[in-house]
A and B are shown apart, each in its own frame.
Chain A
Amino acid sequence: MAAETPVSSSAAPKRARRSMKTSKAVLIADKVADWTIRIGGLGVIAAVFGIMAFLAMVVVPLFTGASIDKAAVSDHAVTGGRPLMDVIDEYKTVSVSIDDTGKVNAFHITSGAVLDVATFDFGGKTLTAFARTLNGRDIAFGFADGTLRLATVKIGGAVINTSDAPADLKKLSDTDSTDGKAIYTAVSADQTRRVSIEVELAAEQQVAPAGTAIVAADYRMGGAAERPTISFVTIDAAGVGRLSRSESKSNMMTGVTTTSVTSSELPGLPHGVKVRNVLMTDKADQVYVIDAGGTVYRYDTREFDAPVLAETIDLLPDATTVGAVGFLIGEQSLVVSGSDGSVDVYFRLQAAGATTTDGYVMTRAHMLAPHTAPVVAMDASQRGKMFITADAKGEIWLRHSTSEQVLLRLKPNDTPSYRAIALAPRENSVLAVTEEGKVYTWDISAPHPESTLNTIFGKVWYEGYPEPGFTWQSSSGTDAFEPKFSLVPLIFGTIKATFYSLLFAIPIALGAAIYTSEFVHHRVRAVVKPTMELMASLPSVVLGFIAALILAPIVETWIAAIFFAFIVIPAGLFTAAYLWQLLPNPIALRYGGLPKFALIFAALGIFGYAAFLFGPVFESLFFAGDLKAWANGDVGSSVPFTAMIAFPFVFLALHLASDTLVTTHLGFILRGEDRTRAGLTDAVRWVMTLIAAGVVSYALAVALVAFGLDPRGGVVDTYVQRNTLVVGFAMGFAVIPIIYTIAEDALNTVPEHLRAASLACGATPWQTAISVIVPTAMSGIFSAIMVGMGRAVGETMIVVMAAGNTPVMEWNVFNGLRALSANIAVELSEAVRDSTLYRMLFLAALSLFVITFIVNTLAEVVRQRFRKRTAQL
Chain B
Amino acid sequence: MMSAITQTIATPTEAVPMSRTTIRRTDLRARGEPALWSLGGALALGVIMIIGFLVLVFANGIVTFIPKPLAVVTETDGTVTAGEPFRSELYKPSPEIIASLSPEWRERVKAENGYVSRTLYRTGNFDIYGEDFRWVPAFQAAKIEHPKNLSFFERMEWGPFVGTVKSFKVGGAEQAFTSLSDPKFIQVHDESRARAEEIRAIERGKIGHINHELETERLDLRKVELEHGRNSAEYKAAQDRLTARAAELQVDYDKFSAEVQKLREMNAGNTLTLAEVGGREKTIEFSALVRAYAANDLSLLQTLGVYFSRWGEFLADEPREANTEGGVFPAIFGTFAMTLLMVIVVAPFGIITALYLREYAKQGKLVSFVRISVNNLAGVPSIVYGVFGLGFFAYVLGGSIDALFYPERLPNPTFGTGGLMWASLTLALLTVPVVIVATEEALAAVPRSMREGSLACGASKWQTIRYIVLPRAMPGILTGVILAMARGAGEVAPLMLVGVVKLAPELPVDGLFPFVHLERSFMHLGFHIFDVGFQSRNAEAGKPMVFVTTVLLIALVTFVNATAIIVRNRLKKKFAGSQF
Question: Chain A: residues with CB nearer than 8 A to chain B?
Answer: 1-2, 4-8, 22, 26-27, 29-30, 32-34, 36-38, 40-42, 44-45, 47-49, 51, 54-55, 58, 189-190, 507-512, 514-516, 519-520, 528, 531-532, 534-535, 537-542, 544-546, 548-550, 557, 569-570, 573-574, 576-578, 580-581, 596-597, 600-601, 603-604, 616, 656, 659-660, 663-664, 667-668, 670-672, 674-675, 678-679, 682, 686, 733, 736, 740, 761-764, 766-767, 770-771, 787, 790-791, 793-797, 800-801, 821, 824-825, 828-829, 833, 841-842, 845, 848-849, 852-853, 855-857, 860-861, 864
Contacts and interface: CB of A to CB of B under 8 A. Distances in A.
17 contacts: A6-B459, A6-B467, A33-B465, A40-B353, A48-B377, A54-B388, A55-B387, A534-B558, A540-B492, A541-B527, A542-B529, A601-B48, A656-B4, A660-B3, A767-B9, A845-B384, A848-B380
Which of A519, A538, A667, A821 has the most chain B CB within a 10 Å cutoff? A667
A580 B374 CA distance: 49
A797 B28 contact: no
B5 A852 contact: no
Nearest to A527: B47
B28 A682 contact: yes
B557 interface: yes
A833 B352 CA distance: 34
Interface stretch (B38-46, B137-145, B197-205): B38-46
A541 B37 contact: no
B379 to A, nearest CB: 4
A5 B558 contact: no
A849 B37 contact: no
A667 to B, nearest CB: 5
B382 to A, nearest CB: 7
A766 B496 CA distance: 48
B530 A545 contact: yes
Given A38-B360, A539-B557, A825 B467 contact: no
A533 B323 CA distance: 32
A845 B385 CA distance: 9
Given A41-B352, A852-B384, A857-B376, 6 more contacts: A40-B349, A49-B373, A541-B490, A542-B550, A771-B6, A794-B382
Contacts of A794: 379-384
A528 to B, nearest CB: 6
A675 B23 CA distance: 11
Contacts of B526: 539, 541-542
Given A603-B37, A825-B383, A679 B561 contact: no
B165 interface: no
A825 B493 contact: yes
Nearest to A626: B92
Interface stretch (B207-215, B255-263, B389-397): B389-397
B53 interface: yes
Nearest to B471: A1
A663 B11 CA distance: 10
Contact of B370 (A45, A601, A675, A766): A45
A531 B47 contact: yes
B376 A853 contact: yes
B28 A581 contact: yes
Contact of B353 (A41, A550, A833): A41
Interface string B88-123: 011110000000000000000000011100000000
Interface string B217-253: 0000000000001100000000000000000000000
Given A794-B383, A828-B497, A848-B384, A570 B463 contact: no
A767 B43 contact: no
Chain A: interface secondary structure?
Answer: helix
Nearest to B15: A671
B352 A546 contact: no
A767 B12 CA distance: 15
Contacts of A7: 457-459
Chain B: interface secondary structure?
Answer: helix
Which of B2, B39, B357 has the most chain A CB within a 10 Å cutoff? B39
A538 B554 contact: yes
Contacts of B376: 852-853, 856-857, 860
B186 interface: no
A787 B378 CA distance: 10
Given A511-B42, A545-B529, A549-B546, A667 B490 contact: no
B446 interface: no
Given A5-B459, A604-B41, A860-B376, A47 B558 contact: no
Contact of A44 (B39, B353, B463): B353
Interface in B501-556: 526-527, 529-530, 533-534, 539, 543, 546, 550, 553-554
Contacts of A663: 4, 7-8
B554 A539 contact: yes
B391 A578 contact: no
A771 B22 contact: no
A577 B33 contact: yes
B292 to A, nearest CB: 29
Contacts of B458: 7-8, 22
A189 B381 contact: no
Contacts of A49: 373
B36 interface: yes
A541 B494 CA distance: 12
Nearest to B454: A5
B152 to A, nearest CB: 24
B393 to A, nearest CB: 10
B35 A766 contact: yes
Contacts of A672: 18, 22, 25
A481 B103 CA distance: 57
Given A190-B230, A660-B3, A512 B554 contact: no
Given A34-B461, A537-B561, A577 B383 contact: no
A477 to B, nearest CB: 21
Nearest to A4: B467
Given A549-B546, A600-B41, A577 B384 contact: no
A849 B558 contact: no
A786 to B, nearest CB: 9
Nearest to B392: A54
B194 interface: no
Contacts of B78: none
A7 B456 CA distance: 10
B3 to A, nearest CB: 6
Contacts of A828: 386-387, 390, 497
A557 B90 contact: yes
Contacts of B365: none
A855 B353 CA distance: 24
A209 B460 CA distance: 107
Given A30-B463, A44-B352, A516 B43 contact: yes
A579 B2 CA distance: 24
A763 B9 contact: yes
Interface string B7-37: 1110110010010001011111111111111
A796 B493 contact: yes
B403 interface: no
Contact of B39 (A36, A511, A795): A511
B374 A574 contact: no
B480 to A, nearest CB: 14
Nearest to B483: A537
B286 to A, nearest CB: 35
A478 B51 CA distance: 50
A667 B7 contact: yes
Given A542-B554, A667-B27, A848-B384, A549 B377 contact: no
Contacts of B353: 40-41, 44-45
Contact of B374 (A42, A45, A600, A671): A45
A852 B380 contact: yes
Q: Give the 9 A-B residue pairs with the shortest CB-CB distance, closest first.
A: A794-B381, A41-B356, A511-B42, A539-B490, A766-B32, A796-B493, A40-B352, A577-B37, A512-B43
Given A534-B558, A549-B539, A795-B381, A678 B25 contact: yes
B429 A797 contact: no
